[in-house]
């Protein structure tokens, strides 16, 4: 018998989930070198919002975005390997875009590795378009700038 598809829930990260976010950051974005204290400071600033996805009660991934004066920027998206390809990333991006739009922002940016075709496809499905290649590499990789305008 096929396993039933588990529900994905997305919510704003609670304070007790920050350690899990820290662990995922170290695993998926080691070059960012975030400390737990820095993640706390980012949350307390009110300018960086963390969303978490849960599947069957287990934290499956997170997304963080930053609010600027005239735009927002998705900073990172991490999904545990066991939950990849199950819609977790799509749910996180969808919720982030809804939150950003609700706050009145008209444009959102993100960076994505040129080699990450799966992520690029998912972002395109959410209406993002490539806005060019960064001059600087991140973690030794070419990085594309993607943007989404809510007015379009």
Nearest Cα to Cα of residue 82 among 113, 61, 62, 64: 61
Question: Does residue 30 sit within a domain?
Answer: yes
**pTM for the structure as a whole:** 0.90
- Kindly give the pairing relationship between strand 8-12 and strand 143-149: unpaired
Higher per-residue pLDDT: 8 or 137? 8
pLDDT at 4 over 70: no
- In this predicted model, what pLDDT tens digit does every residue of 45-54 receive, in sequence order? 999 999 999 9
Question: Does residue 79 sit within a domain?
Answer: yes
Question: Does residue 1 sit within a domain?
Answer: no
Higher per-residue pLDDT: 120 or 5? 120
Question: Does residue 33 sit within a domain?
Answer: yes
Least confident piece of the model among 47-56, 119-128, 133-142: 133-142
Please, which residues bridge with residue 52 across strands?
Answer: 11, 62
What residues make up the domain containing 54? Answer: 8-149
As a whole-number percent, the residues of the chain with pLDDT over 90 amount to 74
- Counting the structural domains of the chain, the total is 1
Question: Does residue 2 sit within a domain?
Answer: no
Element at 124 (helix H, strand E): helix 117-125
Grade residue 142 by pLDDT with cuts at 50, 70 and 90: confident
39-45: average pLDDT: 93
Asked whether the CA dihedral 11, 50, 151, 122 is positive or negative, the reply is negative
> For residue 47, what is the domain's CATH number?
3.40.630.30
pLDDT at 81 over 80: yes
Grade residue 32 by pLDDT with cuts at 50, 70 and 90: confident
Question: Does residue 3 sit within a domain?
Answer: no
Question: Does residue 111 sit within a domain?
Answer: yes
Higher per-residue pLDDT: 104 or 134? 104
Give the burial class of 10: count Cβ atoms within 10 A of its Cβ; 0-12 exposed, 13-18 middle, 19 or more buried. buried
């Amino acid at each position: 018998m096929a396993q039933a598809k588990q529900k994905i829930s997305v919510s704003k990260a609670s304070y007790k989930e920050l350690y899990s976010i820290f662990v995922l950051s170290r695993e998926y974005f080691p070059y960012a070198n975030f400390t737990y204290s820095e993640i706390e400071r980012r949350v307390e600033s009110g300018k960086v919002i963390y969303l978490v996805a849960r599947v069957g009660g287990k934290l499956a991934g997170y997304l963080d975005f930053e609010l600027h004066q005239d735009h927002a920027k998705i900073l990172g998206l991490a999904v545990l390997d066991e939950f990849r390809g199950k819609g977790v990333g799509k749910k996180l991006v969808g919720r982030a875009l809804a939150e950003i739009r609700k706050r009145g922002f008209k444009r959102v940016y993100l960076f994505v590795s040129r080699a990450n075709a799966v992520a690029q496809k998912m972002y395109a499905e959410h209406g993002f378009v490539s806005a060019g290649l960064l001059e600087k590499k991140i973690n030794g990789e070419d990085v594309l700038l993607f943007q989404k305008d809510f007015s379009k």
